[in-house]
């Protein structure tokens, strides 16, 4: 229901030329399946997914080819059926022009789906639903590609006041959300209903800039059909960047989310309308995120919106729109916040809301940069209430700590400051430079802290080992000495225990008995003798005595 409601204002903002007409004249078309799909594994914020397929393997449309690495990550799927040709490094749709791991699929043209099953999110726990969405690869399609399952958490209170659906689409040239709302409003609302249940949100506000009357009408009609009073379609004034999450929340609810806090702490969560559509597809239809609506506009003969499979080379997409002969560049995103691509062969990814074909005539090179004259125009238009000129000086002087003190990280890089700068300073380039330097330093600091801990632990361990060794040696020496001392003591006085005493006594008694027995027993050849034998023995003894008598003097002389 569209309703008259009090709206609020965000600070600053600009009104650039919108150039949205060209791409809204025709309905969304399905882009043909290209000859080769290059699907980067890392398409969202968070850890890069692990590849699940190998070269030569056959994959089906919607089959998971990259598994989320941890919870802050999102899965990646094959956009159509075909054969995996390679899992290799390919140039990414990234300003750096560097490569990353991609799954290269050769489509078989059959476009064969995996078995699709709707997910019963009412019967599942919130955690299960979030895991399902993570594995379905659903991420924010507004451009930041933040994993949606992490945002579908009602926070501490367990419920939210407002779910904001962002259909503002404030950036020039881009019309993908506009067309999506015009044509698929019902599905968006179904997705919104699912999110509303998961977040236990009281109401749903759909913010659409008032330069899209068709989209507003279509969504209002869809909301009326849905018959849910809690869903309200709100037209917001057209002013760039009304589509920034914090800016739209401010306009719709009057809540200004402070630095370093989350909107959920204030009972508000914001999603792009494209994300709502993707959630509907994932949960109601069981289809993972494998395509999105992309605006192709700029220096082309026939600007249009296409539903594009992820991995489609941008070249194939722009070719559909008859680019003008003087086209010399491809920009992903709009002219304010977009990134110039290193080439036109890079693939369409989840973050690609627009492929803008540029030329020297359409986007003339910026005039030479001049000195900052401290006019303060940038601060007047900053939608985040920052002081861009201060941040510029500090970033330029590489005083990153100072730049952070001026809340550099609250900058949304909308480009309003650079848009109005009379000295044509590329301010956002300085902020991006400063931000990436600060991030790099943070990574280095973490690594240094880890190294310090490990080094200190190693010192500790070495010290402990030394002590243990010394203790062992001391124990060994002590044991040796004790043994020697014990042996000595044994030799000096046989200290006996009572048991030993008893044992010894037993042995002594046994010896005694043996001796007595021996004495009792007579030598056998001298016992029981006959008188003749006795007489003979006596005669022999007498002779011996006689001989001994005779031998006495000789024996003595011998001595």
Partner 1 sequence: MFEALIVMALGAVVLGGALGYAAVRFRVEGDPLVEKIDAILPQTQCGQCGYPGCKPYAQAIAKGEAEINQCPPGGEEGIHKLADLLGREFKPLSAEHGIEKPKAIALIDEQTCIGCTLCIQACPVDAIVGAAKQMHTVIADQCTGCELCLPPCPVNCISMEPIAESVENWKWKYPVFKLTPSRKEAA
Q: Among 98, 489, 514, 540, which residue sits at the site for partner 1 (rule: CB under 8 A)? A: 98
Q: How far is the CB of 301 from partner 1 (least distance, A)?
A: 33
Binding of partner 1 at residue 370 (CB under 8 A)? Answer: no
Q: Among 131, 210, 221, 437, which residue sits at the site for partner 1 (rule: CB under 8 A)? A: 437
- For residue 453, CA distances in Å to 359, 427, 440, 441, 449 come to 53, 39, 20, 18, 6
Question: Do 95 and 432 touch, CB atoms closer than 8 A?
Answer: no
Q: Among 326, 449, 465, 500, which residue sits at the site for partner 1 (rule: CB under 8 A)? A: 449
The residues that bridge with 300 in the sheet, in sequence order, are 323
3-state secondary structure of 87: strand
Q: Among 26, 54, 96, 157, which residue sits at the site for partner 1 (rule: CB under 8 A)? A: 96
Which residue is it, tokens 């500790």?
Answer: 460
Q: Which helix (H) or strand (E) element contains residue 271?
A: strand 268-272
113, exposed or middle or buried, with CB in 10 Å at 0-12, 13-18, 19+?
middle
Write out 136-193 in H/E/C secondary structure: CCCECCCCCCCEHHHHCCCCCCCCEEEEEEEECCCCCCCCHHHHHHHHHHHHHHHHHH
Q: How far is the CB of 376 from partner 1 (least distance, A)?
A: 21
Distance CA 212, CA 219 (A): 11
Q: Which stretch binds partner 1 (CB under 8 A): 21-29, 277-285, 296-304, 443-451?
A: 443-451
Q: How far is the CB of 61 from partner 1 (least distance, A)?
A: 27
Q: How far is the CB of 451 from partner 1 (least distance, A)?
A: 4
Q: Among 127, 436, 526, 534, which residue sits at the site for partner 1 (rule: CB under 8 A)? A: 436
Q: Among 458, 469, 544, 552, which residue sits at the site for partner 1 (rule: CB under 8 A)? A: 458
User: Smaller CB distance to partner 1: residue 380 or 396?
Assistant: 396
Q: Which stretch binds partner 1 (CB under 8 A): 21-29, 247-255, 278-286, 432-440?
A: 432-440
Q: Which stretch binds partner 1 (CB under 8 A): 166-174, 318-326, 425-433, 548-556?
A: 425-433
Q: Of the candidates 468, 145, 152, which has an alpha carbon nearest to the alpha carbon of residue 333?
A: 145
Binding of partner 1 at residue 406 (CB under 8 A)? Answer: no
108-137 residues near partner 1, rule: CB under 8 A: none
Q: Of the candidates 221, 237, 236, which has an alpha carbon nearest to the alpha carbon of residue 183?
A: 221
Q: How far is the CB of 148 from partner 1 (least distance, A)?
A: 22
Question: Do 167 and 257 touch, CB atoms closer than 8 A?
Answer: no
488-527 residues near partner 1, rule: CB under 8 A: none
Q: Among 3, 450, 471, 535, which residue sits at the site for partner 1 (rule: CB under 8 A)? A: 450
Angle at CA of residue 372, ends 369 and 375, nearest 5°: 125
User: Smaller CB distance to partner 1: residue 191 or 313?
Assistant: 313
Which residue is it, tokens 């030598």?
Answer: 523
Which chain residues interact with partner 1 by CB under 8 A?
Answer: 42, 48, 92, 94-96, 98-100, 368-369, 426, 429-430, 432-433, 435-437, 440, 443-444, 447-452, 454-459
């Amino acid at each position: 229901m569209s309703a008259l409601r009090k709206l609020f204002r965000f600070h600053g903002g600009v009104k650039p030329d919108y150039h949205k007409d060209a791409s809204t004249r025709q309905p969304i078309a399905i882009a043909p399946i290209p000859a080769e799909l290059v699907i980067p594994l890392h398409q969202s914020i968070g850890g890069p997914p692990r590849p699940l397929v190998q070269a030569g393997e056959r994959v089906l449309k919607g089959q998971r080819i990259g598994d989320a690495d941890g919870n802050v990550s999102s899965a990646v799927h094959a956009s159509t059926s075909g054969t995996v040709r390679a899992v290799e490094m390919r140039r990414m749709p990234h300003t750096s022009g560097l490569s990353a791991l991609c799954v290269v699929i050769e489509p078989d043209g059959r476009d064969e789906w995996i078995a699709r099953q709707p997910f019963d999110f009412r019967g599942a726990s919130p955690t299960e639903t979030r895991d399902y969405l993570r594995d379905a690869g659903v991420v924010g399609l507004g451009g930041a590609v933040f994993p949606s399952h992490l945002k579908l958490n009602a926070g501490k209170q367990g419920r939210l006041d407002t779910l904001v659906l962002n259909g503002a689409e404030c950036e020039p040239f881009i019309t993908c959300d506009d067309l999506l709302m015009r044509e698929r409003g019902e599905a968006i609302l179904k997705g919104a209903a699912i999110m509303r249940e998961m977040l236990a949100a009281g109401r749903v506000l759909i913010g659409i800039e008032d330069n899209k009357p068709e989209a507003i009408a279509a969504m209002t009609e869809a909301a009326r059909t849905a018959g849910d009073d809690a869903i309200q379609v709100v037209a917001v004034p057209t002013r760039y960047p009304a589509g920034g999450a914090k800016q739209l929340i401010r306009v719709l609810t009057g809540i200004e989310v402070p630095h370093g806090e989350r909107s959920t702490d204030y009972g508000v969560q914001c999603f792009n309308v494209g994300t709502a559509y993707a959630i509907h597809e994932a949960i109601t239809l069981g289809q993972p995120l494998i395509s999105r609506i992309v605006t192709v506009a700029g220096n082309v003969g026939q600007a249009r919106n296409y539903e594009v499979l992820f991995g489609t080379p941008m070249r194939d997409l722009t070719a559909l729109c008859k680019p003008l002969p003087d086209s010399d560049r491809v920009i992903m995103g709009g002219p304010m916040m977009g990134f110039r691509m290193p080439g036109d062969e890079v693939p369409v990814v989840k973050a690609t809301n627009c492929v803008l074909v540029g030329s020297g005539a359409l986007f003339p090179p910026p005039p030479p940069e001049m000195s900052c004259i401290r006019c303060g125009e940038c601060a007047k238009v900053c939608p985040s209430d920052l002081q861009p000129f201060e941040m510029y000086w500090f970033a330029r002087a590489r005083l990153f700590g100072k730049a952070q003190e001026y809340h550099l990280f609250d900058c949304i890089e909308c480009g309003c400051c650079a848009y109005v700068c009379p000295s044509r300073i590329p301010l956002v380039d300085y902020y991006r430079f400063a931000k990436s330097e600060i991030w790099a330093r943070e990574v280095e600091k973490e690594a240094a802290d880890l190294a310090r801990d490990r080094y200190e632990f190693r010192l500790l361990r070495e010290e402990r080992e030394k002590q243990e060794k010394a203790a062992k040696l001391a124990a060994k020496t002590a044991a040796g000495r004790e043994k020697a001392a014990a042996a000595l003591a044994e030799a000096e006085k046989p200290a006996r225990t009572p048991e030993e005493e008893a044992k010894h006594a037993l042995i002594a008694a046994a010896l005694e008995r043996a001796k007595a027995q021996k004495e009792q027993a007579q030598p056998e050849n001298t016992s029981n003798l006959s008188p003749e034998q006795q007489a003979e023995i006596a005669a022999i003894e007498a002779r011996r005595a006689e001989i001994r008598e005779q031998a006495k003097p000789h024996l003595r002389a011998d001595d």
